[in-house]
Amino acid sequence: MTKSSTKKVAFISSFKPRKCGIATFTSDLIENAGLAVNGEFEPLVVAMRSEDEKYNDPVKFEIRQNVKSDYICAADYINFSHVDVVSVQHEFGLFGGDAGSYLSLLLNRLKAPVITTLHTVLNDPSPAYHKSLVDVCNASYKVITMNERGVDMLRSIYGISGRKVQLIAHGIPDLPFVDNNYYKHKFDIENRRTILTFGLLNKNKGIEVMLKAMPAIIEAEPTVLYIVLGMTHPAVLKHEGESYRFRLQRMVKELGCTEHVIFHNRFVNDEELHNFLCAADIYVTPYLNREQLTSGTLSFAVGTGKAVVSTPYWAAVELLANGRGKLVQFGDSKQMAESIVEILQDDSLFYSLRRKAYDYGRSRTWSKIGQIYWKLFNAKRMPVRITTKAALSVAEPVSSIEVPEPSLAHLKRLTDDTGLCQHAKFTVPNREYGYCTDDNARAVIAMTKYYAQYPEPEALHLFNIYLSFIIHSQNSDGSVRNFMNFDRSWWGNEPVNDALGRVLWAFGTVMAKPPSSSYLSVIKDCFDKSAGYVEKLHPRGMAYSILGMSDYLKQFPGASDIKRQLEIAADGLVTQYDENRFPDWQWFEDTLTYDNAVLPYALFIAGTILGDKYLEVAEKTCEFLLANTFNDSYFSFVGCKGWYERGKTKATFDQQPIETVSTVMMLRAAYDATQNRRFLTLQRKAFDWFLGENDLHIPIYDFRTKGCNDGLAQGGVNGNQGAESTLSFLMSLLAIVESYTAVDKVVGKTHVSQKMSISRQVSAVEQTTKKAIPIKSTSAQKSKTKIREAEKLT
């Protein structure tokens, strides 16, 4: 068989050695699909990674469940691997995001057709679960359900076309119809009537229902032995430990059944499981939840010809129909005991149930199910997928950088229906200081950028709150109010501030990347109303307005009045520079104070529109600022307790996060203007200030709360986590993620560099290093321990 004729299939799923039913299902599917075609099949597994699992071939790539960037890189990896078709094993809890929504980020970027097998279909889904499943189905060429009821539910509840849905049963092992006495000998349980339940243990299994039935069963059949086979579900172990198992064991003791019940607390391999199944007389699933559409364990039991007693969950109703098993009501131990005793005492019924179950299972053996899947994988008329612009607009964070996943958790804590609170006492909003337009404008910028990369409903909700605030801050004449009390009253006499410039920056950001085109008309009117004040602003206000006007021109390049205002503001900054510079002091003022980097940042942006005059000043002032804040190892920003006046000593503390975010943005703009990759290296070093690359080697970002401390003081961090600091971190993080995506495109190395960065997460089968390697400064080791300790608190 030639390489070109081999069908290459990517499987997105959990996988062995992970201990879960879907991992086992996927392994069996791959094995039997391969057997069906005698070597024409090349599987590639993209495994949902859990804890410290180590994978072997055919796992080629691993996804961390809650790291959104992994899903994007997985899509690129699959596309670069030239697969013919993608098989997804879908279970809501397997994937990250609200209701497993991160999976759609991956699927929408794939070039190969997608075939999705649904392991759960909810009868009454919440809006989030409904949308998540519909999105997955819309991204799929075919959708497979394992139950006839699932076909109807997909059509009537989710609106999925019947032409897209295909019914394929759960595969079962092809075991012989045997005399179980031979297998009982292996376990030293000869002359015992044996009842079996197996699977990962959790409360929904309803084992207590069966245990309560045991005294009546023992009375009728004293030799009976009930085996509960399987370890506690890993997710249950993580959150609850073995409390459920211990409760069951106490129940056994209280019921006087210790000689008749055995718990095997381990995950057995296929051979052991087959031996246990063959040794059992009766198989029991006393599950408590009706809405279970598939059951691998029940399928196995039916396929091996077991006499089955079960509660009527959906999978059992279909599998045990027509005399293939007995159904009892949920939670009814008395009926459970009666049904089991009847089977044990009636050989005719016992063998009838076994034979019907076994015969039915012949159509569902894994060899036959593998052939059905192979026909799907090898279909001649597969659609060619075209990745849409909408799909590509989703985030493209690159895996070659290790950064925290962007989180809105603390921002949400600081936000009410009025807006974003200015300050916090530790993590608790401090209502005494109310709100300010400065912070809400920053928040609009942050949410616009966040939503452009991560289009989540909660981000849009926050965006609308903050946008409403800054629109309300605008007076009818275009001037802007800054400070609002908690009772929603504006201050009467405000100190001088830069709120108008920040509002223009926020409006411009929205205009450049609106969440919806419906925002444009309103935002343009608001922007135009305030643009006339630009020439009256102080230097930083001018800088903020330049950033807003440059974004305005991205949406309306021909807006000559805005371009004139931008030139006025840029000339104002150049004039400031000319009036204050000296050979040893290349700066706009005689003192380095707050948010310094925004000034050269704005001129880099202006220079790309207006010309080299502005770029020259931008580069000189940028280099001057770097010389005074970067010590060749890490950034040490100007402290607010004294600032840095020309001819005097620079204050080291307190350093504030606002300096970092403007530096991160300035360095990206410097790279864009010069194509000098040194600025990208420095950009990452600036961001690492948040993670411990600073004078005290202490993380400023709080890995536990997802907020950011208000500053770096001489004695440690300022533990308050207010709006400015948290937004500074979030905006810096989004800028870093955006840089590492966009820069590869600019230099024309997208495919090569993404392959290189993706390979950092490839399984240990192919790579000795799985984790991404960030750009680190030479002092990184000093703070590594503190960062890890902080992460452990998450």
List CB contacts of 693: < 8 A, sequence separation 6 or more.
Answer: 634, 635, 685, 776, 777, 779, 780, 783
pLDDT, tens only, 308-324: 999 999 999 999 999 99
- CA nearest 361: which of 469, 283, 286? 283
pLDDT, tens only, 674-687: 999 999 999 999 99
SS3 of 64, please? strand
Six-digit token string for 250: 């106490």
Burial, 588: exposed, middle or buried (Cβ in 10 Å; 0-12, 13-18, 19+)? Answer: buried
pLDDT, tens only, 702-758: 999 999 999 999 999 999 999 999 999 999 999 998 776 444 434 333 333 333 333
Q: Which helix (H) or strand (E) holds 48?
A: strand 41-49
Q: What pLDDT sits at residue 157? A: 94
Q: What pLDDT sits at residue 399? A: 32
Residue 788 pLDDT more than 50? no
CA separation, residue 575 to residues 547, 564, 580, 603 (Å): 18, 16, 9, 12
What's CA 497's distance to the chain center, in Å?
38
Q: What pLDDT sits at residue 291? A: 84
* Chain mean pLDDT for the chain: 86
Residue 661 pLDDT more than 50? yes
Q: Which residues pair with 44 in a beta bridge?
A: 10
- E runs forming strands in 510-565: none
Q: What pLDDT sits at residue 73? A: 85
Six-digit token string for 668: 């990206």
> Of 6-20, 208-222, 723-737, which gets the smallest average pLDDT?
6-20
Rounded CA separation 25/89 (Å) = 9
Sheet hosting strand 85-90, strand order edge to edge? 59-64, 41-49, 7-13, 85-90, 114-118, 142-145, 165-167
Assign 495 a pLDDT band (cuts: 50, 70, 90). confident
Q: What is the DSSP letter of 152?
A: H
Rounded CA separation 763/653 (Å) = 44
Please provide the DSSP assignment of 75-129 as one string: HHHHHHTT-SEEEEEE-GGGS-SGGGTHHHHHHTT-SS-EEEEES---SS--HHH
Six-digit token string for 254: 């209280």
Rounded CA separation 79/75 (Å) = 6
Assign 37 a pLDDT band (cuts: 50, 70, 90). low
- CA nearest 328: which of 348, 346, 308, 345? 308
**Residue 320: CA atoms inside 13 Å, Cβ hemisphere, count?**
24
Assign 577 a pLDDT band (cuts: 50, 70, 90). very high
Q: What pLDDT sits at residue 159? A: 95
Q: What pLDDT sits at residue 778? A: 33
Assign 400 a pLDDT band (cuts: 50, 70, 90). very low
SS3 of 601, please? helix
Residue 341 pLDDT more than 90? yes
Residue 354 pLDDT more than 60? yes
Cis peptide before 600 (omega within 30 of 0): no
pLDDT, average across residues 112-116: 96
> Of 220-234, 496-510, 628-642, 712-726, which gets the smallest average pLDDT?
220-234
Rounded CA separation 462/453 (Å) = 15
What's CA 599's distance to the chain center, in Å?
35
Q: What pLDDT sits at residue 494? A: 82
Q: What pLDDT sits at residue 334? A: 95
Q: What pLDDT sits at residue 395? A: 36
Residue 397 pLDDT more than 80? no
List CB contacts of 666: < 8 A, sequence separation 6 or more.
Answer: 597, 598, 600, 601, 604, 622, 625
**Range picked from 36-50, 507-521, 768-782 for highest mean pLDDT:** 507-521
Q: What CA dihedral angle connects 704, 707, 710 and 715, to 10 degrees?
A: 10
Residue 619 pLDDT more than 60? yes
CB 298 within 8 A of CB 286: no
Q: What pLDDT sits at residue 776? A: 31
pTM: 0.53
Q: What CA dihedral angle connects 252, 258, 260 and 262, to 10 degrees?
A: 80
Residue 327 pLDDT more than 90? yes
pLDDT, tens only, 147-170: 889 999 999 999 999 899 999 999
Assign 52 a pLDDT band (cuts: 50, 70, 90). low
Assign 759 a pLDDT band (cuts: 50, 70, 90). very low
For residue 557, the tally of other CB atoms under 10 A from its CB is: 11
269 against 293, higher pLDDT: 293
**Residue 253: CA atoms inside 13 Å, Cβ hemisphere, count?**
6
Assign 402 a pLDDT band (cuts: 50, 70, 90). low
Residue 19 pLDDT more than 80? no
- CA nearest 183: which of 172, 167, 194, 173? 194
Residue 604 pLDDT more than 70? yes
Rounded CA separation 621/600 (Å) = 6
- CA 204-208-211 angle, to 5 degrees, is 145
List CB contacts of 153: < 8 A, sequence separation 6 or more.
Answer: 121, 123, 293
